[in-house]
């Protein structure tokens, strides 16, 4: 780096860090992110909790069987409190087995209804997948039990015990899930919302806060700092590179903090370190380019604030940082690729989910690098017009 450009970088850093806001966003904010992202999307997701309300022996039998399912923790809650427990986030799902369950079964009633309650935010998908097979088996137990009751004149409890014994002896047909070319798939690898949540939020916030730094670009124009920089032996290009480099460094630093912190403290997985760093760096470059362009185009700080929040969030939503890319309609998945988020998402998905390395994501890195270069070139041209 030539001396003048280094000086520009230095000036930009100084101006950035004279603003208390920058201190907050670079040093304090990432820790909040680490805490929230880590606790919500932390590596080993704690088994989801499910509240079960059971008020008679047969219902309790069902509750016990649910409690034996691997991967879910069952807590006993009175029927009237189940919904609140779900809504408040205390449990991920709730099952209310109606009072008089046993009597209903004994009397041969059809369609005894169990109420399964979840939140609208998708946290109930995993509990549902874990629990529904057992609930379906309940039907079988009851049918076999009923049959045994009528044949052997047993009461329902004893008949169900015999049914359970028979089911225990019966051979099981295992179902293996595989992905072509890769062998066994994790049973829940389709739950995009959970396993890539940390990455989605990282992309959203690195981009958002990078865009917010565009305010400084507008400011330095308003305060004629850039004019004065140009008065020194540095080219317009040098000024742009200097301003951009400083912001780039800040964005990468933030991202590194978040990645490192969530990994260290919460066990969030980021895959191959070199690959995930490379993706972060190129993504941060795109964010910086966008910020420079925004700063060049904006006329007032209000405008830039509005634009950075709006564009930042819209790009994040389009690019799969709110609703996972996999869950979007096919057409929208294609459209999503106008955002850097979508490309970074794909790259991270390959690295985190499939354990790929840098080589495998070179295409995505290439696209992101191109985006960064294009944005920086355009931003540079616009800014130069203002400066010169």
Partner 1 sequence: MRNLAVIMMKDLRQRSRDRSILVLGFLLPLALMWVFSLLFAEIDDSAPPAVTIGVANLEQGTAGGACEVTGGTCLGDALEEVVLPLVQARIEAEGGSAEVVVYDAATTLRRDVADGELDAGIVVPVGTTAALVSGEAQIEVVTVPERIEASAITSAIAEQFARQVKGQAAARVAATSLGLDATTTAELSAALGQAEGRVVVDASSTGGDDGGFASYLAGGMIVFFLFFTVGFGVLGYIGESEGGTMPRLLASPVRTWQVLGAKVVGSLLIGTVATAVLMATAVPLVGAQWGNPFVVAVLVLAVVVAATSLVAVVATVARTVEQANVAQSTIAILLGLLGGSFFPIEGGPEWIGSLSRLTPHGTFLDALQQTAAGAGLAQIRPNLVLLLGFAVTMVAIATVAMRLQGDE
Site for partner 1 in 316-335 (CB under 8 A): 317-318, 322-323, 326-329, 332, 335
Task: Quote the DSSP letter at residue 323.
Answer: S
CB of 193 vs partner 1, minimal distance in Å: 8
Task: Quote the DSSP letter at residue 27.
Answer: I
For partner 1, the binding residue among 26, 105, 259, 280 (CB under 8 A) is 105
Stretch 201-230: interaction string toward partner 1, x if CB under 8 A: x--x---x---x--x---x-----------
# residues contacting partner 1 (CB under 8 A): 106
User: Is residue 80 a contact residue for partner 1 (CB under 8 A)?
Assistant: no
| Residue number, 182 or 237, with CB nearest to partner 1 | 182
Strand pairing report for 93-96 and 73-76: unpaired
User: Is residue 353 a contact residue for partner 1 (CB under 8 A)?
Assistant: yes
DSSP line for 274-286: HHHHHHHHHHHHH
Residue 238's Cα: distance from chain center in Å? 38
For partner 1, the binding residue among 2, 14, 132, 377 (CB under 8 A) is 132
For partner 1, the binding residue among 14, 87, 224, 228 (CB under 8 A) is 87
Would you call 12 exposed, middle or buried from its count of C-beta atoms within 10 A (0-12, 13-18, 19+)? buried
| Residue number, 219 or 227, with CB nearest to partner 1 | 219
Sign of the Cα pseudo-torsion (376, 382, 387, 388, in order): positive
- Angle made by CA atoms 10, 304, 374, in degrees to the nearest 5: 70
For partner 1, the binding residue among 44, 70, 80, 110 (CB under 8 A) is 110
CA distance 211 to 234: 25
CB of 3 vs partner 1, minimal distance in Å: 31
| Cβ atoms 214, 288 nearer than 8 A | no
Site for partner 1 in 231-290 (CB under 8 A): none
| Residue number, 356 or 384, with CB nearest to partner 1 | 356
φ/ψ of residue 8, rounded to 5: -65, -45
Q: Is 52 helix (H, G, I), strand (E, B) or coil?
A: strand
CB of 82 vs partner 1, minimal distance in Å: 10
Residues 6+ apart with CB under 8 A from 211: 287, 290, 291, 294, 307, 308, 309, 311, 312
For partner 1, the binding residue among 4, 7, 15, 40 (CB under 8 A) is 40
CB of 238 vs partner 1, minimal distance in Å: 26
User: Is residue 119 a contact residue for partner 1 (CB under 8 A)?
Assistant: yes
- Candidate segments 224-232, 297-305, 359-367, 377-385, binder of partner 1 by CB under 8 A: 297-305
User: Is residue 154 a contact residue for partner 1 (CB under 8 A)?
Assistant: no
User: Is residue 157 a contact residue for partner 1 (CB under 8 A)?
Assistant: no
CA distance 322 to 315: 10
For partner 1, the binding residue among 56, 83, 103, 227 (CB under 8 A) is 83
User: Is residue 35 a contact residue for partner 1 (CB under 8 A)?
Assistant: yes
CA distance 32 to 28: 7
For partner 1, the binding residue among 300, 363, 374, 377 (CB under 8 A) is 300
CA distance 176 to 183: 10
CB of 281 vs partner 1, minimal distance in Å: 24
Neighbours of 332 (CB within 10 A): 13
User: Is residue 60 a contact residue for partner 1 (CB under 8 A)?
Assistant: no
The b-or-e profile of 179-203 (16+ CB within 10 A means b, else e) is eeeeeeeeeeeebbbbbbbbbbbbb
| Residue number, 59 or 241, with CB nearest to partner 1 | 59
| Cβ atoms 330, 336 nearer than 8 A | no
| Residue number, 162 or 386, with CB nearest to partner 1 | 162
Stretch 165-204: interaction string toward partner 1, x if CB under 8 A: -xx-xxxxxxxxxxxxx---x---xx-x----x---x--x
Strand order from edge to edge, sheet including 73-76? 73-76, 49-53, 93-96
- Candidate segments 2-10, 84-92, 288-296, 366-374, binder of partner 1 by CB under 8 A: 84-92
Q: Residue 330 has which token pair?
A: 């096919």
User: Is residue 133 a contact residue for partner 1 (CB under 8 A)?
Assistant: yes
């Amino acid at each position: 780096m030539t001396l003048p450009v280094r000086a520009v970088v230095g000036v930009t850093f100084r101006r950035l860090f004279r603003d208390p806001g920058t201190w907050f966003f670079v040093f304090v904010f990432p820790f909040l992110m680490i805490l929230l992202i880590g606790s919500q999307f932390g590596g080993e997701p704690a088994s989801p909790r499910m509240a079960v309300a059971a008020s008679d022996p047969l219902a309790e039998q069902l509750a016990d069987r649910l409690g034996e399912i691997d991967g879910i923790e069952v807590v006993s809650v009175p029927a009237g409190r189940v919904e609140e427990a779900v809504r408040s986030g205390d449990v991920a799902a709730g099952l209310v087995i109606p009072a008089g369950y046993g009597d209903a079964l004994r009397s041969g009633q059809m369609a005894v209804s169990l109420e399964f309650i979840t939140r609208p935010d998708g946290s109930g998908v995993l509990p549902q997948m874990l629990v529904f097979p057992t609930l379906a088996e309940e039907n079988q137990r009851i049918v076999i039990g009923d049959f045994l009751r009528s044949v052997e004149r047993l009461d329902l409890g004893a008949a169900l015990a015999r049914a359970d014994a028979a089911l225990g002896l019966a051979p099981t047909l295992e179902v293996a899930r595989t992905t072509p070319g890769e062998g066994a798939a994790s049973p829940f690898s389709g739950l995009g919302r959970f396993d890539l949540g940390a990455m989605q939020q990282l992309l959203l916030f690195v981009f958002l806060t990078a865009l917010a730094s565009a305010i400084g670009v507008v400011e330095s124009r308003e305060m004629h700092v850039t004019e004065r920089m140009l008065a020194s032996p540095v080219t317009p290009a040098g000024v742009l590179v200097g301003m951009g480099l400083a912001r780039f460094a800040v964005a990468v630093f933030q991202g590194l903090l978040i990645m490192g912190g969530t990994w260290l403290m919460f066990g969030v997985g980021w895959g191959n370190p070199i690959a995930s760093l490379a993706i972060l760096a190129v993504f941060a470059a795109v964010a910086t380019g966008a910020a420079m362009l925004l700063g060049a185009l904006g006329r007032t700080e209000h405008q830039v604030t509005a634009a950075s929040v709006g564009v930042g969030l819209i790009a994040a939503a389009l690019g799969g940082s709110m609703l996972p890319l996999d869950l979007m309609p096919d057409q929208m998945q294609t459209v999503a690729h106008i955002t850097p988020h979508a490309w970074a998402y794909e790259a991270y998905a390959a690295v985190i989910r499939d354990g790929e390395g840098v080589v495998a994501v070179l295409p995505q890195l290439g696209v992101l690098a191109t985006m960064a270069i294009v944005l920086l070139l355009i931003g540079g041209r616009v800014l130069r017009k203002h400066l010169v």
